[in-house]
Structure 1
Amino acid sequence: MAVSEELRSAYAPTGELRVALNHGNRVLIGRDEGGHPVGITAELAAMLADELGLPYRFVDYERAGDVSGLATQDAWDVCFLAVDPDRATVIDFTQPYIRIEGCYLASEAAAAVTASEVVKNGLRVGAVKGSAYTLHLARAAGAEKLVQFPDFRTAMSEFDRGQIDVIAGVRQAMAAEAALRPGSRLLEPPFMEILQAMGLPAGRDPAIGHLRNFLAEKSRGGIIGDLLARNGVARECAL
């Protein structure tokens, strides 16, 4: 497929594709021993840049809220975030390409056996400010018990100190933390599905149409499933 200069300019006004990576989502992105980004979103970004014939660089963020908060500040050109109506006011999203579950990690002392009992029993819920699950929980029943933290490390520290009863996060990350804390447990069922998509700062026509087609082709061709499997994520999470 021929790529016009108009399309390249819509994607990357500076001539370089600036890719925002949310390192708060450890399912989609990580770092190798040298600290360089590796994982699903890094590989997808490289595929996109190659198709466009553009140089690219990663712009690293530790929280999803930092990415969306800079969508209008010309800080990045393409991102990988969960679809959320608040974010959609400043970001044009593609269709989702992966489904991730949002789960609660409960402390040993937490008075809950199932996820529904978190709200029913008035438990204190910790979450990272600006994340997709935090935005969801802030609009849901029990929002008055939501405690937002600046980053995941702080949230886990307060969890370990008993200042909150449960932590909200993506299933894989919560399971990893549970394995480090005897007596803690994941509560079922998941409290939400987190639909991950690619996005551009709002108004980047015609780039958003191209990006949607790019991702649809990768999904139909099984490339997304291959990416997930190669990075230790169940192929069934691909959409």
Structure 2
Amino acid sequence: MTNIDPTITSSFAPTGTLRVGINLGNPILANEDPATHELRGVTIDIAHEIGQCSGLPVKLIPFKTAGNTVDAIKTGEIDLVFVAIDPIRGADISYTPAYIQIEGAYMVKEKSPITANEQVDVSSNEIVVSKGSAYDLYLTREIQNATILRAASSQAVIDDFMSGKGNVAAGVKQQLESDAKRYAGLRMLPGRFMVINQAIGTPKARPQYEKTTVYLSGLITNLKQSGFVAQAMQRHNIQGAKVAE
């Protein structure tokens, strides 16, 4: 892998530093040490590798939610994001191919009569979801009858749910399973309601974003084929996700 074409560097990283938005709302991909505030995870490893391949210093900028991360790339605060591919976001963000696939799932209380995903979209149900997340955007398009209730972050979904809001919780499967350990009497519905394709995004507002996307697409393809992404997932003990094909 070679350094980025210098003719598009000013578009890719106009400040001379590659400012990377890190979404802490998805713990499968990124986490922050509560004591040291050090960022760790698959996306951090990939961000540093992009910087090394591009010959650019990297500045990691953490955000609590995917929605906040997307807002920052719209305003020009950051140059690159790791977020789920979504057509609404695609109006402002140019995506590479996916590098990881994760699953969106539903969780209910143990005594709930709901036993399958197909039973969720009825008028009597209320689904708690993280505002602005990929699954919020997806469910907003797909749900016809149930009501969607939006939590402030993915970490807040189960807390809101257990405080009495809604009767179904929706989110990244591993996030729900992790958060549910704080409570008793919860169960996951079998299967998944969506596959979430995680990709690298850059702002379409930049003058040469197409060339930047082509460059990053080639780079992430190499990182998948070389085993870099799989090794990063193993290093960070990521379960329930897979390297995208």
8 Å contact kept, 2:122–2:145: no
Structure 1 residues 108 and 236 mapped into 2: Cα distance closer, same or farther (>3 Å)? closer
Structure 1 residues 235 and 115 mapped into 2: Cα distance closer, same or farther (>3 Å)? closer
State the match for 2:51 in structure 1: 49
- Encode CA deviations 1:51-90: one digit per residue, 9 max, x unaligned: 1111111111111111222332111001000000000000
Cα distance between partner residues in 2 of 1:139 and 1:173: 22
Task: Name structure 1 gaps, 5 residues minimum.
Answer: none
Task: Name structure 2 gaps, 5 residues minimum.
Answer: none
After the TM superposition, which of the residue ranges 103-112 and 160-169 deviates more from structure 2?
103-112
Are residues 1:217 and 2:219 paired? no
What displacement does 1:232 show?
1.1
Cα distance between partner residues in 1 of 2:155 and 2:237: 23
After the TM superposition, which of the residue ranges 197-206 and 75-84 deviates more from structure 2?
197-206
After the TM superposition, which of the residue ranges 104-113 and 13-22 deviates more from structure 2?
104-113
TM-score (structure 1 length as normaliser):
0.94
Cα distance between partner residues in 2 of 1:163 and 1:91: 33
Partner secondary structure for residue 130 of structure 1: coil
- Encode CA deviations 1:89-147: one digit per residue, 9 max, x unaligned: 00000001111000112123432112221124732100111000000000113465111
Are residues 1:126 and 2:131 paired? no
Q: What are the equivalent positions in structure 2 for 1:72-83 lying under 5 Å apart?
A: 72-83=74-85
Kindly provide the amino acid, as one letter, of the partner of residue 89 in structure 1.
Answer: A
8 Å contact kept, 1:91–1:201: yes
What displacement does 1:182 show?
1.9
Root mean square deviation, CA, Å: 1.7
8 Å contact kept, 1:111–1:121: no
After the TM superposition, which of the residue ranges 150-159 and 126-135 deviates more from structure 2?
150-159
State the match for 1:232 in structure 2: 237
What displacement does 1:161 show?
1.8
Partner secondary structure for residue 99 of structure 1: strand
Are residues 1:23 and 2:24 paired? yes
Q: 1:108 aligns with which of 107, 110, 113?
A: 110
Matched-pair identity in %: 28
Partner secondary structure for residue 185 of structure 2: coil
8 Å contact kept, 1:105–1:174: yes
State the match for 2:160 in structure 1: 158
- Encode CA deviations 1:14-35: one digit per residue, 9 max, x unaligned: 1110000110011000012411
Between the two proteins, the alignment pairs up a number of residues equal to: 239
Q: What are the equivalent positions in structure 2 for 1:26-37 lying under 5 Å apart?
A: 26-32=27-33, 33-37=35-39
TM-score (structure 2 length as normaliser):
0.91
Kindly provide the amino acid, as one letter, of the partner of residue 18 in structure 1.
Answer: R
State the match for 1:61 in structure 2: 63
Cα distance between partner residues in 1 of 2:145 and 2:25: 22
Kindly provide the amino acid, as one letter, of the partner of residue 238 in structure 2.
Answer: V
Cα distance between partner residues in 2 of 1:230 and 1:153: 23
Cα distance between partner residues in 2 of 1:77 and 1:143: 38
